[in-house]
Structure 1
Amino acid sequence: MKKNGTGSLKYHIGSCKKNPSNVVDTSQGQLVLPRKGVEGGEGNLSTWRFDQEACRKGLAQMILIDELPFKFVESEGFKKFMFVACPRFHIPSRTTMTRDAYQLYLDERVKIKQLLRSSCSRVCLTTDTWTSLQRVNYLCITAHFIDNDWKLNKKILNFCPISSHKGESIGMVIEKCLLNWGIDKLFTVTVDNASSNDVAIGYLRKKFTPRGGLVQNGKYLHMRCMAHIVNLIVVEGLKEMNKSVERVRGLLDMWNSTYLMLDTAQNFERAFERFEEQDTNFKFELERERLNSNIDFNVMAIKMKEKYDKYWGDIDKMNLLMFVACVLDPRQKLKYLEFTLSEMSSSEKACEMMQKLKESLYELFDEYKPPLHGTCSQSSVSTHVSIGEPQQKMKR
């Protein structure tokens, strides 16, 4: 038996043609003009019709892209705006928005897994670890790979707390992450120069070599972060200028970044000059530092060179893939690299580096030859190809 209530009134409001919310015909799309600066908004004309689920998904994307709090959907200003822009849209609660954002993550995860499965390339990883103010250790793992359309992809695979910064703990977390994503082919892992990362790379090399997922049994797996090395070199040089830096910091306090502090100090050069006129001791200190500046800079350069040689002075400590990338670049090739190395070091050292580089090129060619030429006869391709004349030797 049907009970009396407000159900009939609710049905009437939803179907009444005089209701302003029901004026728009949802069965027919509206023309949308192309918009610049909006992803997917450039190009030809498109059609639009109201879709509650599509609006919720777009709202979740906005929350994530603009890094807004989930409670933003419950703010008074946003509610007023949506009432004007799209009164038919039912604004979800912060709890519903949290679920929608997590669903976006699950959907993107499926897409990335499919992309990794369909891509025939190897994956390069970069890792970064740090400790928060709450003394919690975190690890971020980013994957770089080239898909079948020759497009470079950069995807964050994991951002998680870790038990410690010990190398084996980091290696275990990376291994678990790769297994969850179904990644078994690694090319390089870029890490900073902490000794714990050497242990982590050794752990990954031991685990992935039996699976056949590494190039040359992990010979090129360890890639030292170039930005971190440059930072170490600069910090080593600034140690010799600590007194000068401390003086500037004393005048411009509350700076966390040394570079930003010194860059700002240059803009206040005239203020320093006036301070010089009013404080004779300040002028005396500047004059003394000016007279000693050449010596200080010489010592600073020597210290920076020592730090440079520690990481880049010996070819045995460098990952040769950086040189291989230069050789494969059509703008540089082998001759340019040979010229550059001869300018940077002695002729004997340059010859040694070039010999090792050529050996690495042959090894990499042999590594990739079976999948590339599996249908060809062995006599059609020679592995010992002259590097200077690859087209004449390999042309059939």
Structure 2
Amino acid sequence: MTENIITDEVVVLVDESINSNATRQTKSVQLKVKKERKKRSRAWNHFRSFVDEERNKKSMCKHCGADYFADSGKNGTTSMLTHMLTCPKMPRIVDKNQTQIGFKTAQGGDTDDVVVVSWKFEQEQCRRALCRMVIVDELPFKFVEKEGFRNFMKVTQPHFKIPSRTTVTRDCFKLFDAEKQKLKRSFGEAQQRVSLTTDTWTSLQRINYMCITAHWIDKEWMMHKRIINFCQVSSHRGEDMANEISKCLRDWGLDKNFTITVDNASSNDVTVKELSKIFTKRGTNFMNGEHLHVRCMAHILNLVVQDGLKVSAASIERVRKAVKYIRLSPARCKRFHECAEDVDINCKKSLCLDVSTRWNSTYLMLNRAIEFENVFSSYVDRDIGLLHYLQFVEDEDGTAAGALSSDDWNNVKKVADFLQIFYDLTREVSGSQYVTSNLHFLKICEVSCYLKKLIVSEDDTDDLLGKIAKNMREKFDKYWGTPNKMNKMIFISCVLDPRHKFVSVGFALQMMFGKEKGLVLEHEVRGYMDLMFGEYVKSLSKDKDSHHSSFLSSSSFEKFSSLPSSSDSTVQSIGSLGSFMVDLMKHKAGNATIVKTELQKYLGEENEVETKNFNILSWWKINSPRFPILAEMARNVLAISISSVASECAFSTGGRILDSFRSSLTPKLVQTLVCLQDWIRSESRHVSVEEDIDVLEQDLANTSILDD
């Protein structure tokens, strides 16, 4: 007889053989370990099995410690599943495959406006979101392995398997490739020219990087800016920079380039010349690159202001030394705040000290010091050391600043008001999410007239500002003193603004260069405008697949088509009388009324009224069916960025420095993170960060970040 005794752990096989004589009995006992079957119930995610003292199989809740009988043959898992519904310490149980209902803030609405949406957990989607968070918030990759983050995810989404830092890095590269392909497809579909800006950065290891940004206006007349490369460069030689830019453009398939905006480094002149040669060889250099080189207006303004502040202004130096003295000691800062409370001044603000490469920090320093003017007078009574420091401690040039007086405060107020004009102007022209090219020439003219006014009034009213203006004018004339130093696009972009056209351009030219010369220059600009319009007519006529081809009527071409070629068929049909017919055609053309071109119609209409909320891109979107060729011109010209840097860098003459985290990464990873951050932020950025730079600068002043 064979008997099988089965348990969860062992199988006991007893084989008894008894012979007929019952004289011989054998027993063999064989123990076999049974393979433990897999627990499939979801209850075991929250319970662990054990055997009690009486050898009963049980399970214990991992959260509250409650235990239940758990013999698979007798009890099952029903009691455990029931407990999971009532356990007070059980985390929220969600089937990751179950679609759920959630709430989401309505797009474009208030924060209180929510809509009901369906939601389902997806591991890959969560990984992508984690990757984007690391990129946008500039988090180190080891963040995902930190204990705090893991505990947070355990509570909020236990189903999410947190990837390692290596996996997140790989996810970043995958996301970069996917987003790059998406952006390349959009460039290919648009088939339009893009304008570029370049800027240089340096890591803490002294590795040089070049940032290349593309600017364009799409078919829906929306302004776009994307960083298309952040690459390591071996040197700042113009030829090397040009080759890197050319290589980048080939990689992106961008063969139609309109302008490139760079700062005033001499190597950039070589860079643009080399690029022009490359584009000419490819046959894509529009109008032989006459307007390819655009100088960064923000950089020139910065140089102009810096030269103005080189004038030795004793009043500014006294304020600077007074601020420095107080900030050198925590005890002095505390005493200064006590004085502020005594005279009812908001002591939550603190003094800020300027730095040599950021003239806007001088503006912020003076503005803040002016708010505390009465506090300085009170402080001197409590700390005689300030007076001694001003009168006797010498600067690097061996002179002492001297005590602060009422005249000094009057002077710094004038300088602060003066600097505010250029502070606001720099912010305005440094935006990248709105059109700035139409402002270029008018703002240059505005600065010119203002400096001229200060210089003329120097002997009569204000000697300090007059001297500053003289120094600034010298630098101003170096870059904008004559029309041939300016890119012709700064005039064309103003003409393509329906509020200005040639009315504003002609007036501004006369204000800058005098009436007689201004009229001559206006005539030259009109000629260049006609020439450029003709180039667009020819370019669009060749592209028969372009959606503009249906708009290219005979009136668009009339001014730019050659008369003899239009009468070739007539000449051939009448043989020897052809010369007479040519003369006849010329005579008829001379006496007929020529149909106006788009350009003539546009310039002939009244200017749009200047309003606060006027949107130049919306105007061209509405009127593009009326002026299809001019609209294509405007799409390219208005996309030009007149600043090569964002406004948070526009006030500085120093180079841009990568932070310590990015400096520690490989160049390939740096490029991936910088580009992806720009692309991701651009997707949801309705208002440019640059437009809020005044808030950022105010925060700098409030928190006293502008250190010695």
TM-score by length of 2: 0.50
Which of 25, 28, 32 is residue 102 of structure 2 equivalent to?
32
- One-letter amino acid of the counterpart of residue 195, structure 1: S
After TM superposition, give the deviation of residue 109 of structure 1 in Å: 0.7
Q: Which residue of 1 is the match for residue 364 of structure 2?
A: 260
Q: How far does the alpha carbon of each residue in 1:85-136 deviate from its partner, in whole angstroms, 9 at most, with x for none? A: 1111111111111111121111111111111111122111111114344322
Q: Does 1:67 align with 2:171?
A: no
One of 71, 76, 82 as aligned partner of 2:153: 82
Q: Does 1:346 align with 2:505?
A: no
Deviations 1:278-305 (A, max 9, x none): 5395775647867999333211111111
Whole-angstrom distance in 2 between the partners of 1:344 and 1:239: 25
* TM-score (norm. length: structure 1): 0.86
Q: How does 1:58-207 map to 2 (within 5 A)?
A: 58-207=129-278
Contact kept, 8 Å, 2:106 with 2:114, in 1: the verdict is no
Give SS of 1:252's match: helix
Letter in 2 for 1:35: T
Q: 1:335 to 1:252 in 2, by over 3 A?
A: same
**Structure 2 residue matching 1:33: 3-state secondary structure:** strand
The Cα offsets for residues 350-374 of structure 1, whole Å up to 9 and x where unpaired, read as 1122122112211221221134345
Which of residues 467, 488, 493 is equivalent to 1:320?
A: 488
Pick aligned residue for 1:225 from 296, 311, 330: 296
Cα 1:377–1:275 shift into 2, 3 Å: closer
Aligned residue type for 1:206 = K
Q: Counterparts of 2:34 and 2:318 in 1: how far apart (Å)? A: 83
- Looking at structure 2, the residues matched to 4 and 156 of structure 1 have their Cα atoms a distance apart, in angstroms, of 63
**Cα separation, 2, equivalents of 1:156 and 1:379:** 40
> Secondary structure in 1 aligned to 2:235?
coil
CA contact (8 A) 2:105 2:115 kept: no
Deviation (angstroms), 1:71: 1.2
CA change 1:298–1:324 in 2 (3 A) is same
Measure the CA separation in 2 of the matches of 1:211 and 1:201: 15
Question: Using a 3 Å threshold, how does the CA distance of structure 1 residues 59 and 297 change in structure 2: closer, same or farther?
Answer: same
Q: CA deviation at 1:21?
A: 9.0
Q: CA, structure 1 residues 6+208, in 2 after alignment: closer, same or farther (shift >3 Å)? A: farther
Distance 1:5 1:360 in 2: 89
Q: Closer, same or farther in 2 for the Cα pair 1:210/1:7, shift >3 Å?
A: farther
The question of whether the paired residues in 2 share the 8 Å contact of 1:34 and 1:44 is answered with yes
Structure 1 counterpart of 2:467: 299
Distance in 2, Cα, partners of 1:288 & 1:321: 45
* SS of residue paired to 2:219: coil
DSSP 3-state at the match of 2:133? helix
2:528 to 360, 364, 373: 360
Output the CA distance in 1 between the equivalents of 2:539 and 2:115: 42
Q: Secondary structure at the match of 1:381?
A: helix
- Matches of 2:203 and 2:489, distance apart in 1: 34
Task: Tell me: CA distance 1:182–1:322, structure 2 relative to 1, closer, same or farther (3 Å).
Answer: same
Q: Could you say what secondary structure the match of 1:9 adopts?
A: coil
Higher mean C-alpha displacement, 62-71 vs 271-280: 271-280
Higher relative contact order, structure no. (Cα contacts within 8 Å, ≥ 6 residues apart):
2
Change in Cα spacing, 1:92 to 1:11, as seen in structure 2 (3 Å) is farther
Question: Does the Cα contact within 8 Å between 2:276 and 2:289 map onto a contact in 1?
Answer: yes
Kindly tell me: are residues 248 and 169 of structure 1, through their superposed partners in 2, closer, same or farther at Cα, counting changes over 3 Å? Answer: farther
Q: Greater Rg, structure 1 or structure 2? A: 2
How far apart, in 2, do the equivalents of 1:241 and 1:104 lie?
53
| Count of equivalent residues | 392
Pair 259,4 (structure 1): closer, same or farther in 2 beyond 3 Å: farther
**Alpha carbons of 1:6 and 1:190: their partners in 2 closer, same or farther (altered >3 Å)?**
farther
Q: What is the rounded CA distance, in whole Å, between the counterparts of 2:235 and 2:483 in structure 1?
A: 32
Residues in 1 aligned to 2:321 and 2:250: alpha-carbon distance in whole angstroms: 51
Q: Distance in 2 between matches of 1:349 and 1:273?
A: 54
Separation in 1 of the partners of 2:514 and 2:603? 31
The separation in 1 between residues aligned to 2:509 and 2:266, in whole angstroms, is 29
Shift in Å, 1:80: 1.6
Q: In the superposition, relative to structure 1, how do residues 102 and 11 fare at CA in structure 2: closer, same or farther (>3 Å)?
A: farther
Q: 1:295/1:390 Cα in 2 relative to 1: closer, same or farther (>3 Å)?
A: closer
Change (3 A) 1:259 1:59: same
Q: CA offsets per residue over residues 134-159 of structure 1, 9 Å max, x none?
A: 32222111111122332221111111
Distance 1:391 1:308, change over 3 A: closer
Does residue 308 in structure 1 map to residue 484 in structure 2?
Answer: no
5+ residue gaps, structure 1:
none
Q: Is the contact made by 2:193 and 2:258 (CA closer than 8 Å) also made in structure 1?
A: yes
The one-letter amino acid paired with 1:9 is K
Distance in structure 2 (CA, Å) of the matches to 1:371 and 1:59: 46
Please list, as runs of the form range in 1=range in 2, the aligned pairs for 1:263-274 lying within 5 A after superposition.
263-274=367-378
- Counterpart CA distance in 2 for 1:132 and 1:369 is 47
Contact map agreement 1:365 1:383 (CA 8 A) in 2: no
1:336 paired residue among 489, 504, 507: 504
Aligned pair 1:382/2:382, yes or no? no
Shift of 1:236: 0.6
Against the structure 1 CA distance between its residues 24 and 363, is the aligned structure 2 distance closer, same or farther, given a 3 Å change threshold?
A: same
AA aligned opposite 2:522:
M
Tell me how far apart the structure 2 counterparts of residues 352 and 215 of structure 1 sit (CA, whole Å).
25
Q: Give a deviation string over 1:134-188, Cα, whole Å, max 9, x none.
A: 3222211111112233222111111122112221221111111111111111111
Between the aligned partners of 2:515 and 2:555, the Cα distance in structure 1 is 37
Assess if the C-alpha contact under 8 Å between 1:241 and 1:296 holds in 2: no
Gaps of 5+ in 2: 1-32, 46-76, 85-89, 325-352, 356-360, 392-400, 412-457, 543-548, 561-595, 606-625, 628-708
